[in-house]
Amino acid sequence: MTMKIDFSFSSQYGTFSDALHLPDDHAFTDAEIEAMKQQRFDNWIAVITAPPTEEV
Amino acid sequence: MADRYWILGTGTWSSTNTANWSATSGGAGGASVPTASDNVFFDANSNVGTGAFTVTMANSPRVCNDFTASGLDGTMTLAGTSIGLTVSGSLTFQATNFNRTYTGTTTFNATTTGKTVTTNGVTFGGSAVTFDGVGGEWTLGSALTCGAITVTNGTFSTSASNYAITATLFSSSNSNARTINLNASTISLSNSNFLLFTTSTNLTLNAGTSTINGSNASATFDGGGLTYYNVAFTSTALASPSITGANTFNNLSITGRTTVGIGVLSLSANQTINGTLTVSAGTASAYRMQISSNTVGTTRTLTCAAIASTTDVDFRDITIAGAHGTLSGTRLGDCKGNSGITFDAAKTVFYRQTGSANWGATGSGSWSATSGGSLDATMFPLAQDTAVFPAATYPASGSTTTINASYNIGTIDMSLRTSNTMTLATSSTSPAIYGNWINGTGLSFSGTGAITVIGRTTQQITSAGRSFTQTFSPIEGGTTILQLQDAFTTTGSVGLGGATLDLQSYTLSTSTFASSTSATRTLAFGTGQISCTGTGTVWNTATTTGLTTTGTQVVNVTSTGSTAIGVTTGPLSEANSISFNFTGGTYALTFLGSSGHSARNVDFTGYAGTLGATSSVFIYGNFKVSSGMTLTASGSTMTFGATSGTQQITTNTKTLDFPITFNGVGGTFQLQDALTAGTARGINLTNGTLDLFGQTFTIGGANTNDRFTINAGTKNITFNGGTLVIATSSTIAFNNVAPTGFTTTAGTGTGTISMTSASAKSFIGGGSTFNCTLNQGGAGALTITGSNTFSNITNTYKTIGATSILFTAATTSTFADWNASGESTRLLTIGSVTAASHTLSKASGTVSADFLSISRSTATGGAGWYAGANSTDGGNNSGWIFTAPPAPSGSNSNFLMFF
C-alpha cells in the first residue's frame, strides 16, 4: 500500500501543487521527504522557465 | 459523318493541320480535321512503309466519333502533353504496334447506346477516363487500365465478359442518372480514396458478383450507401482505412498486417455483410487491426451473416449483429463501446525484454504472463489489460522501451521503476490509454506523439515527479474522467475533448492547452492551477459550448520571453470563467481579442509586453494591469460583469483606452488606484456598485463621447472619498438616463463628482440623490438638469477664472451644504438655463457664499441663504440675502465666558 503526501509551493508562476506517493513502510526521514518536495518544485520551475522549443 | 484516315506517318493532330488526314485509307491528304461526328482510323497506310510514327495531339482536346487503331504495321504512338481525347463513339486500340502516351483525360461522351471501349491491353497509364454522355452506354471490350475512372452520365458496363478494371480510383458522385454494371469483374484500385460514390443519387449500381479491391494502406471506401458484392482492403500494411455510407456487401475482407503496428478501419455508418466478414490476423499479436466508429461514443453496427475466425483485432464502438451472432475470437481488444463481441478477460502482463526494445515485437513479443517469466507471444497487452514493468532487469536499468505503434493500451504500471531507470519512448506514435498511468520515479520520456486518453471510466495518472514529453490529446470518450494523482507536467500539449479532466487540486503544466469543441466536457481545477509554458496559442477554448469549469479556475501563462502568445478564452459564462495570470515576458499578447470572450480575474503583474486591442469582452473578476505593460487602444467595450463579491481594478497609471461598462447585478467594482479612461471612451454604469474606494476615476477629455452614462438597472456609486472626474464637454457629460434603481453611497470620507471641462457641460441628474459633492471644476458653464439632491456643491475653478452654474428652470435642487463661491474679480454666476426661475433648497443652517452673481434663483428650505457682501443681485431672485452671514452669536458669549 502507498501513502500520499500532498504539498504545495507558491511562486511567481502560480501555485505548484503535487503529491508524493510513498510506500506505507517507507524509511524516508522528514528531511528527506522535504527534500523530495523541494526537488519536485525545483524541477517544475526548471520546466516552466525553460525556453520554449521552437516548432519545426 | 465522315471517315478520316491518318496518312504520312508522324504528324500533328491539331485543329488546323489537314496534311495528315485523308478521306480514304492511304489516300491523298488535305481532308478536313475530324469533327466529333467523324470516325478516325489509324491503319497500315497511316505510316510510311512500316516505320514507326507518332501522332501528337495538340490544341484543345481532340475529338472524333469512333477511334479505331487497327491493322497498324508500324508502331504508332498517340502522344500529346496534357491533351485529352474525346470520343463520341467507340474506341479500339490495337493490341500491338500501338502506344498511348498522351496525358490528358479520355472522355467518352456518346449520347446513344452500343458503344465499346476496347483498349486491348493498352494502358492509359495514370490518365483519367471519363464517361459523360446523357443516354450514352459503353461496354468494355477488354480490360481497362487507367488513372481515375469517372462515370458522370450514362451507362457503363464491364461487359458480360467481366473485364477487369485497374485504376487509381473509381468515382461517380453526382445526381445525374447513371448506371454502372460491374458484372463479375475485378476492380483493382490503388488510391487512398479509391471508391468515391459519395453522392449516389440516381446511381444504379449493379454490383453483380464483382470484387472491388482497395490496395492503399489508407484506403477510403465512400460507398454512398449502395449494395456491393465483394470488397476487400488488400494492403498488408493497413494504417487508416475507412468506409463511409451505410453499405451492403456480400463479403467484406480486411487483410492482416505483415508489418508490426496497428491499422484502424474507421466506419462512419452501419454496414451489412450478407456473406462473410473477414478480418485476417496479422503476422503476430503485435500486428493488429482495429475496427472503430469514426466518432467516439457513436456505435456502428456490423450486421454479419458470417464472420471468419478473428484474431488480434481491437474494437471500439462496434456492435456485432446478424445471423452470425456474438463474435468470439482470440486476443480481441476491448476499446469500449462494443456489444455482440466476447472479449478476452482482462489480464496482467509483464514486460520481459531485457534491453531497449519495442512494446510490440514480432516472434515471441515483449511480454510475459509472469514477472520475469518466459516471453509469450500471446501476452501482448490489450486495451483491457494491465502492463507492468518489473522493478529491475526487464528492462535493464537505463533501457528504452518504445511504444512503436499507436496501440490501444490499458493500464501502464511503471511504479516499480525507481532506482532502475528506464525511458518510455513514443516517437511519433499515438497510443490510446484506457486505464491508469503510473510512473515510477526512475522514468524518463521521449517522443512527441499524441496520447489519447479514452477509457470512458475514471483514469488516474501518477507522474511521480516525472515530466512527460508527449502531448495528451484528446482526452475524450464522454464518460472518461482523467484524474491527476499528483502534479502533471509535459513539454507537449494537453487537449480536452468530450471528457472530464480533474486536476484534483494539483498543478498541470503544459506547453499549450486546448479544448475547443462542442462536446460536453468538464475542466475541474479544485484548488489546482494550469500553467501554460509555451508560446503561440497557449490556451484555446474558443468554442465553449458544453464546457463546464469548476474550482478555482486559474491559468498561469509563464513565458518570460518575447515570442508572441495568444490566449483564446472563448465566451465563457461568469460561472465557468477562468482567471489568467501573465507572470512575465515581453511578448505581444493576443487576449480577449474576440467579441464575447471573457475571463475571471486577469493579472498582468510581471508582464511587460503589449496587449493587443481587446474586443467587446467581459471580465468577471479582478483586473490588474502591470506598470510595465502597454495597453492597446480599442473602440470595443470591456464589461466588468461580476454578479457577486468585490472585484478590484488596478491600472498602475495605465490609461484604459477603451469603453468600459459596469454591468453585474450584485457585483461591486472597486478601484485600487486611479483609473483613467481614454479619450473618446464612454463609461457606462448599468448594474452593480462602482466603488471609487478613495481613488480618482477620470473620464476622457474634450471628446463628447467621453461621457458617463447611467443606464437602466440596479446600480450604485459608492465614493468612499473618491472622485469621479468628468472632463467631457458635452450636453450629456454626466447622463443619468435611467434614475430608477440608481443610488449613491458616501461611504467613508467625502466623495466628489467634478465636472472639469473648459467648455459647457451638463450634469443630467435625473432627480436622483447624490451623496457627494458636485464640483464645478472648469471654465465651461455647468448646467444641472433635474431636481436633484446633493451633499454639497463647490466651485474649485474660482482661483483661475469666472464660471457659471446654471440650473434648469422650474427645478428644485436640494443641498445639505453649499460651498460654491467665486472670488474677487472672478464671480461665480448662479442662474437658470432659460428665462425662468429655479429653486435652491437647504433645510437648515446657513449658506455662506460670496462673489456670486445670482439671477432667477429662488433660495428656500429653511436655511439662511447669504450670498455674501461681494455678490451681485442680477434680479428675479428670492430668498437670497446679499450680505455676509451674521457672526455666530454663540462665539462672543464663549469668548466672554473665557475671560
Q: Which of B505, B527, B533 sits opposite A52 (nearest CB)?
A: B533
Question: Predicted confidence band at B893 (pLDDT cuts at 50, 70, 90)?
Answer: very low
H or E segment at B662? strand B660-671
Answer positive or negative: Cα dihedral of B77, B81, B87, B91: positive
Report the distance separating Cα B140 and Cα B132, nearest Å.
15
Which residue has 443610488 as its cell numbers? B743
**Does residue A51 belong to the interface with chain B, where contact is any CB pair within 8 Å?**
yes
DSSP string, B733-785: SEEES--TTEEEE--SS--EEEE--SS-EEEE-TT-EEEEEEEE-SSSPEEEE
Question: Predicted confidence band at A56 (pLDDT cuts at 50, 70, 90)?
Answer: very low
pLDDT at B526 over 90: yes
pLDDT at B261 over 90: yes
Percent of chain B scoring above 70 in pLDDT: 98
pLDDT at B704: 62
pLDDT at A20: 83
Q: Which of A14, A40, A43 sits opposite B554 (nearest CB)?
A: A14
**Mean local confidence (pLDDT), B467-478:** 96
pLDDT at B607 over 70: yes
Phi and psi at residue B401, to the nearest 5°: -110, 125
**Mean local confidence (pLDDT), B432-444:** 98
- Picking from B95, B381, B96, the residue whose alpha carbon sits closest to that of residue B262 is B381
**Does residue A53 belong to the interface with chain B, where contact is any CB pair within 8 Å?**
yes
Residues of B in contact with A16 (CB under 8 A): 487, 507
pLDDT at B96: 87
- The C-alpha cell at B882 is 446679499
CB-based contacts of B525-528 (< 8 A; 24+ apart in sequence): B525/B549, B525/B550, B525/B551, B525/B552, B525/B553, B525/B554, B526/B502, B526/B550, B526/B551, B526/B552, B527/A15, B527/A17, B527/B551, B527/B552, B528/A15, B528/A17, B528/B484, B528/B503, B528/B504, B528/B552
Question: Predicted confidence band at B395 (pLDDT cuts at 50, 70, 90)?
Answer: very high
| Contact at CB, A44 and B584, closer than 8 angstroms | no
pLDDT at B262: 97
pLDDT at B806 over 70: yes
Which residue has 475507412 as its cell numbers? B242
Contact yes or no for B314/B335 (Cβ under 8 A):
yes
Using one digit for the tens of pLDDT, what is the confidence trace for B303-362? 999 999 999 999 999 999 999 999 999 999 999 999 999 999 999 999 999 999 999 999
SS3 B892: helix
Mind telling me how many Å the CA of A30 is from chain B's nearest CA? 18
Q: HEC string of B207-264?
A: CCCCEEEECCCCCEEECCCCECCEEEECCCCCCCCEEECCCEECCEEECCCCCCEEEE
Mind telling me how many Å the CA of B524 is from chain A's nearest CA? 14
DSSP β-ladder status, B411-413 and B437-438: parallel
pLDDT at B889: 62
| Contact at CB, A16 and B507, closer than 8 angstroms | yes
- Picking from B124, B17, B100, the residue whose alpha carbon sits closest to that of residue B6 is B17
**DSSP code at position A34:** H
- Picking from B538, B530, B547, B455, the residue whose alpha carbon sits closest to that of residue B496 is B547
Mind telling me how many Å the CA of B551 is from chain A's nearest CA? 14
- The C-alpha cell at B689 is 456598485
Phi and psi at residue A48, to the nearest 5°: -80, -15
Q: Which of B527, B531, B554 sits opposite A48 (nearest CB)?
A: B531
Mind telling me how many Å the CA of B360 is from chain A's nearest CA? 29
Total length of chain A: 56
Report the distance separating Cα B756 and Cα B744, nearest Å.
21
pLDDT at B705: 65
Using one digit for the tens of pLDDT, what is the confidence trace for B53-94? 999 999 888 999 999 999 999 999 999 999 999 999 999 999
Residues of A in contact with B485 (CB under 8 A): 4, 19, 21
SS3 B890: helix
Estimate to the nearest angstrom the gap between the alpha carbon of B690 and the chain centroid: 36
- Picking from B261, B186, B252, B265, the residue whose alpha carbon sits closest to that of residue B218 is B265
If one compares B336 and A20, the residue with the highest pLDDT of the two is B336
pLDDT at B385 over 70: yes
pLDDT at B786 over 50: yes
SS3 B363: coil
pLDDT at B897: 40
The conformational region for residue B223 under phi > 0 = left, psi -120 to 50 = alpha, else beta, is: alpha
Mind telling me how many Å the CA of B442 is from chain A's nearest CA? 13
Mind telling me how many Å the CA of A26 is from chain B's nearest CA? 14
Q: HEC string of B40-91?
A: EEECCCCCCCCCCEEEEECCCCEEECCEEECCCCCCEEEECCCCCEEECCCE
Contact yes or no for A49/A14 (Cβ under 8 A):
no
Which residue has 469549469 as its cell numbers? B549
**DSSP code at position B379:** G
Report the distance separating Cα B742 and Cα B25, nearest Å.
103
**Mean local confidence (pLDDT), B732-748:** 96
**DSSP code at position A41:** H
Q: Which of B465, B467, B531 sits opposite A13 (nearest CB)?
A: B531
| Contact at CB, B583 and A12, closer than 8 angstroms | yes
Mutate to test the interface with B, among A48, A49, A55 (most CBs of B within 10 A): A48
pLDDT at A52: 58
Q: Which of B527, B533, B556 sits opposite A17 (nearest CB)?
A: B527
Using one digit for the tens of pLDDT, what is the confidence trace for B191-228? 999 999 999 999 999 999 999 999 999 999 999 999 99
Contact yes or no for A44/B509 (Cβ under 8 A):
yes
Which residue has 512575465 as its cell numbers? B584
Where in chain B are the domains? 236-344
pLDDT at B690 over 80: yes
Question: Predicted confidence band at B899 (pLDDT cuts at 50, 70, 90)?
Answer: very low
Q: What is the mean pLDDT of chain B?
A: 95
**Which residue stretches of B527-627 are H helix?**
none
Question: Predicted confidence band at A21 (pLDDT cuts at 50, 70, 90)?
Answer: confident
Omega cis (within 30) before B474: yes
Query: What ipTM score was computed for the predicted complex, to two decimals?
Result: 0.73
**Does residue A49 belong to the interface with chain B, where contact is any CB pair within 8 Å?**
yes
Question: Predicted confidence band at A22 (pLDDT cuts at 50, 70, 90)?
Answer: confident
